[in-house]
């Protein structure tokens, strides 16, 4: 401690002895660093808001589609990715009016990946996205929104495993605690089937919905880790245009698969009848699907934005912030019952989420302390460092 204080004192004395021009140069660098830090926090807040608002609204609209007479699983899957053309507008603007901030994180010395490698990456992610969305559609059809949302919290557990295997994230006591809590939460819902299932849902369909939701959570966690790996090892640039492209091209692949599935399954023939029989009318039917597509795109932009701004693990943690919100709205708007088992599962899930957040706080504090110490040493003159 005494050595650190002496080092800081010597650095301060050395800076005071610098010529005025050099001191002015140091002063000018500080506001730029502060502005960059402020921009990072601004993007973090915007991406977080987009993820939470988009995910919550899209989930509720998806349940509304089924409750009011919608029955096409492929249509419910298609709207989760079909809104990607909206993202072409900001992508076009970025290419027409490039700015320094849009390309500041690009290292010109890094070799760009081949078109074949990028195309293969987008195809793989798009195929996984289509399968993931389809499983989510089955889960939302056969499960109450409260049960569905609680099961989605298992994404954290799956993400911890994939982040460890793919992104070299470390397991800690807090993460293991969170895994146990989330697994227990899902197990409670598994051994106590919900008595308030949607109309016409048998026990067998409930099991299908349960398995599909767990499977979708696992695939979604895998997607997040693969996207983080792709940004770090393949794309190797952190720009907003890269975020948009990571959403647009895989969504194009996923939407194409859904359109094929819609026609092959024969569900396309019943869409006109489904629209006519929709309880709220044709306009409401169209608007429900349209806004579901829009809100999913907003959510996905927030998700991918948080992946390259922080990490896949943090992105998944933030997505679970919607966990307490969705069940509350489900109870209000869809008359879902919040029984004792669900309440306990909710508490365990929030507890697991809190463990993850606290671990992230500790990691962030440690990272800042290390960076601060490194900055002190790097700014110290060689003569001062040699005396310590």
- Name the residue ranges covered by the structural domains of the chain: 41-102+111-387
pLDDT at residue 236 tops 70: yes
Over residues 45-81, the pLDDT tens digits come to: 888 899 888 988 998 898 889 888 888 999 999 999 9
Over residues 274-299, the pLDDT tens digits come to: 999 998 889 999 999 999 999 998 98
With tokens 């997505």, the residue in question is: 319
What integer is the mean pLDDT of 13-17? 49
pLDDT at position 255: 95
| Selected residue with higher pLDDT from 136 and 178 | 136
pLDDT at residue 21 tops 50: no
pLDDT at residue 382 tops 80: no
- Residue 283: half-sphere exposure toward Cβ, Cα within 13 Å: 0
Model-level pTM?
A: 0.74
CA distances from 118 to 23, 303, 338 (A): 46, 20, 45
Sign of CA dihedral 143, 146, 152, 154: negative
| Selected residue with higher pLDDT from 343 and 295 | 295
pLDDT at position 106: 47
| Selected residue with higher pLDDT from 43 and 253 | 253
pLDDT at residue 139 tops 60: yes
pLDDT at residue 28 tops 60: no
With tokens 């900055």, the residue in question is: 375
For the chain, give the percent of residues with pLDDT over 70: 72
pLDDT at position 202: 81
């Amino acid at each position: 401690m005494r050595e650190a204080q002496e080092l800081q004192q010597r650095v301060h004395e050395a800076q005071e002895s610098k010529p005025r021009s050099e001191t002015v140069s140091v002063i000018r660098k500080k506001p730029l660093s502060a502005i960059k830090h402020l921009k990072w926090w601004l993007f973090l807040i915007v991406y977080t808001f987009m993820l939470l608002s988009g995910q919550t609204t899209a989930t509720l609209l998806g349940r509304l589609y089924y409750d009011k007479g919608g029955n096409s699983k492929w249509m419910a899957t298609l709207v989760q990715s079909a809104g990607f053309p909206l993202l072409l507008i900001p992508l076009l603007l970025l290419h027409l009016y490039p700015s320094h901030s849009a390309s500041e994180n690009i290292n010109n010395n890094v070799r760009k990946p081949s078109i074949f490698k990028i195309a293969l990456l987008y195809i793989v992610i798009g195929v996984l996205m289509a399968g993931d969305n389809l499983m989510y559609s089955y889960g939302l059809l056969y499960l109450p929104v409260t049960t569905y949302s609680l099961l989605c919290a298992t994404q954290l557990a799956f993400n911890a495993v994939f982040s460890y295997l793919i992104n070299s994230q470390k397991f800690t006591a807090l993460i293991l605690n969170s895994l146990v809590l989330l697994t227990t939460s899902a197990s409670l819902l598994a051994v106590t089937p919900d008595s308030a299932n949607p109309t016409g849902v048998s026990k067998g369909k409930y099991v299908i919905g349960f398995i599909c939701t767990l499977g979708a959570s696992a695939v979604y966690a895998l997607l997040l880790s693969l996207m983080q790996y792709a940004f770090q090892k393949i794309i190797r640039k952190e720009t907003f245009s890269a975020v948009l492209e990571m959403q647009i091209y895989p969504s194009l692949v996923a939407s194409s698969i859904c359109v094929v599935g819609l026609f092959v399954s024969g569900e396309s023939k019943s869409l006109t009848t489904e629209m006519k029989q929709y309880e709220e009318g044709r306009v409401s039917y169209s608007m429900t699907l349209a806004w579901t597509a829009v809100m999913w795109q907003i959510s996905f932009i927030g998700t991918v934005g948080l992946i390259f701004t922080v990490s896949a693990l943090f992105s998944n943690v933030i997505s679970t912030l919607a966990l307490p919100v969705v069940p509350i709205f489900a109870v209000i708007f869809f008359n879902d019952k919040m029984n004792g088992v669900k309440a306990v599962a909710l508490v365990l899930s929030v507890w697991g989420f809190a463990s993850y957040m606290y671990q992230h706080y500790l990691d962030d504090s440690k990272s800042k302390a290390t960076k601060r110490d490194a900055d002190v040493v790097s700014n110290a003159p060689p003569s001062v460092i040699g005396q310590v």
